[in-house]
Amino acid sequence: MTFLLTWNPAKWAYEGDEYKRHVQQTSGPHPKPVEDHWSTGSRTKVELGERVFLLRQGADRPGVVAMGRVNSDARLEPHWDAERAAAGETAHFVDVVWDRVLDIDDRVPTAELEAEVGSVHWHPQGGGTSLTDEQAAAVEALVQRGEPLGGGHSTMAAEASEDAVDLLRRLLGLELRDRDGRLLLRIQAVSPAMVQVSVNDRELRSMGLTPFEEALAQLGEGESIDVAAGRGWQAALLRAALLTVPGVRVVGGQIVLGRPRADADVDGRTVGYNEFFDVTRPLDRAAVALQRGEQAALRAGLFSTRSHGRCALCRRTYPVQFLRAAHIKPRSVCSEDEKRDLTNIAMAACVFGCDALFEVGFLGVDDTGTVVASGGAMTDAAIASYLDPVVGGRCLAFRPPSNGYFAWHRDNIFRAGAVCPDERSCSP
């Protein structure tokens, strides 16, 4: 679920140094989220992790100026208006984490929202207006847009903007196959100087990282790369790696990185769900390689260009290279529609334990959104010490549309076992 929070500068002072600091912190090459506190208006119940947009109101430059996630339950506090608070009035407030705060002049104007997003009430009396997933995705694309394709500097995803080593280490084990499914390459190892691959599942060959570093720099500068450039396994590997970077696409035979406006036409199609991924195209794309076309979109939706993110299970904050875009229901058993449900099918899970423990069924999420552990897991001292501060907390990815995927995980993967010591949240 997604809803609007509202801000009228004539009634509440948010501009000035604080606002400028929030803009600076959530932008640039290494953006970081900002914690804030806001009134929810007419909405009295919220779900942890719900998406929110901040709508600036009034005659002076109205429009969406920020987006983020709910970080607490709603609670009653003294009213934000000092006079009403003095009179004993209260209002519902919630903690939020802003992923992106726009300069006022870079806002998404209300007039554009009315034209592009459809039947949303963009002039509410207060916060609480709900948006569908489709409407929310359209607004997020408008917020995240940057320079048009092919011109100016573009914003790289955090894991790709650092160096080629990080990019390739995320792809360890990646297999490149031809259109008939024959294995051509497999990435075996990555060092600071080179990547090792097995060719035709026999020969072990090495490739220096300079071509990857140069290609990433080109894309970051707004330049394009000819998709047909080069021959042999090195060129195929370079193309395959670049196509996993969030925001990278093929336009007119060129590999480019950019965030077009929501109404931009790319290779004859209008950008849909978000600027990273066309959910109508085949999910396994052949360009000498078969690739999971939605993987980059999943990471983009979870992390955007942020350098850090929160694990949905342990709720700790880590650099994004240590967070997986983990399918709640395994991709191998998802229907085509479920694979395309990018907003709800995946969550951020850390590599320090949560991803693996959820995958094997030692961790799960119950129908209230609480993180639970298998009783069997808690009999192992090492695993129990990791799980002890995790279980009983709220899963940040749990919301009504994702509940069905967590239910599938409970019914098919989560391991039943004995009740845990001290009656912590475990499977009975």
Domain identity same for 101 and 236: no
Residue 23 neighbours by CB distance under 10 Å:
20
Residue 296 neighbours by CB distance under 10 Å:
22
User: Exposed, middle or buried: residue 10 (CB in 10 Å: 0-12, 13-18, 19+)?
Assistant: exposed
pLDDT tens-place string over residues 110-167 = 888 888 787 788 888 888 888 888 788 778 877 876 433 333 334 444 444 457 777 7
Domain identity same for 298 and 313: no
- The predicted pLDDT at position 247 comes to 64
Domain identity same for 291 and 342: no
Given 103, 121, 144, the domain boundary residue is 144
Q: How far apart are CA 63 and CA 61, in angstroms?
A: 7
Domain identity same for 26 and 71: yes
Domain identity same for 405 and 287: no
Domain identity same for 298 and 321: no
Domain identity same for 7 and 72: yes
Residue 274 in any domain: the answer is yes
Domain identity same for 298 and 320: no
- The predicted pLDDT at position 180 comes to 64
Q: How far apart are CA 152 and CA 380, in angstroms?
A: 54
Average pLDDT of the segment spanning 90-98: 89
Q: How far apart are CA 140 and CA 153, in angstroms?
A: 20
Given 303, 334, 361, the domain boundary residue is 303
Average pLDDT of the segment spanning 231-235: 80
Domain identity same for 123 and 183: no
Residue 356 in any domain: the answer is yes
Residue 12: CATH number of its domain: 3.10.590.10
By C-alpha distance, which of 345, 256, 353, 244 is closest to 296? 244
Residue 171 in any domain: the answer is yes
C-alpha 374 chain-centroid distance? 28
Domain identity same for 124 and 9: yes
* In the predicted structure, residue 276 carries a pLDDT above the cut 80: no
pLDDT tens-place string over residues 392-419 = 988 989 988 899 999 999 988 887 543 3
Strand 108-109 and strand 90-101: the pairing is unpaired
Strand 51-56 and strand 2-7: the pairing is parallel
Q: How far apart are CA 138 and CA 53, in angstroms?
A: 12
Domain containing 47: what range? Answer: 2-144
Given 144, 174, 209, the domain boundary residue is 144
Domain identity same for 214 and 318: no
Domain identity same for 47 and 140: yes
Q: Which residue has the tokens 């084990």?
A: 173
Residue 242 in any domain: the answer is yes
Residue 153 in any domain: the answer is no
CB-CB contact of 284 with 335 (8 Å) = no
Domain total of the chain: 3
